[in-house]
Copies of this chain bind each other. A is one copy, B any other.
Amino acid sequence: MTILETQGLAAKNAARKLAVTGEKQKNAALLAMADALLARKGQWLSANAADLAAARAAGMRESLLDRLTLDEKRIAAIAEGVRQIHALPDPIGQVVKTTLRPNGLKLEQRRVPLGVVGIIYEARPNVTVDAAALCLKSGNACILRGGKEAFRSNRAVIAILRDALEASGLPRDCVALVEDTSRETAQQMMDLTEYLDVLIPRGGAGLIHSVAANAHVPVIRTGEGVCHIYVHREADLPMAARILYNAKCSRPSVCNAAECVLVDRAVAEDFLPMAWELLQKKSVKLHGDPECREILGDFVLPAAPEDWDAEYGDYQLAVKVVSGPEEAMDFIAAHGTGHSEAILTESYTAARQFCDGVDAAAVYVNASTRFTDGFEFGLGAEIGISTQKLHARGPMGLEELTSTKYVVYGDGQIRE
Contacts and interface: CB of A to CB of B under 8 A. Distances in A.
Interface centre among A245, A250, A406, A408 (most CB of B within 10 A): A408
B415 A376 contact: yes
A273 interface: no
Given A362-B406, A390-B198, A409-B365, A356 B20 contact: yes
Given A246-B414, A359-B112, A105 B371 contact: yes
A360 B415 contact: no
A6 interface: no
Task: Please give the count of copies of this chain that the complex contains.
Answer: 2
Given A216-B213, A377-B99, A391-B391, A408 B250 contact: no
A411 interface: yes
B360 A405 contact: yes
Contact of A371 (B360, B362, B408): B408
B368 A415 contact: yes
Nearest to A110: B355
Contacts of A99: 377-378
Contact of A408 (B105, B362, B388): B362
A416 B373 CA distance: 13
A373 to B, nearest CB: 8
Interface stretch (A51-59, A83-91, A236-244): A236-244
Interface string A378-397: 10000000001111011000
A112 B363 CA distance: 12
Given A363-B405, A388-B218, A408-B363, A371 B415 contact: yes
A3 interface: no
Given A367-B409, A393-B404, 16 more contacts: A19-B359, A101-B378, A105-B367, A115-B389, A197-B389, A197-B390, A239-B412, A245-B414, A361-B406, A370-B414, A370-B415, A377-B406, A390-B391, A391-B391, A393-B405, A394-B404
> Which 4 pairs from chain A and chain B are nearest by CB?
A367-B410, A246-B414, A389-B403, A370-B415
10 contacts: A20-B357, A101-B377, A105-B367, A115-B389, A198-B389, A250-B415, A361-B405, A363-B406, A363-B408, A366-B410
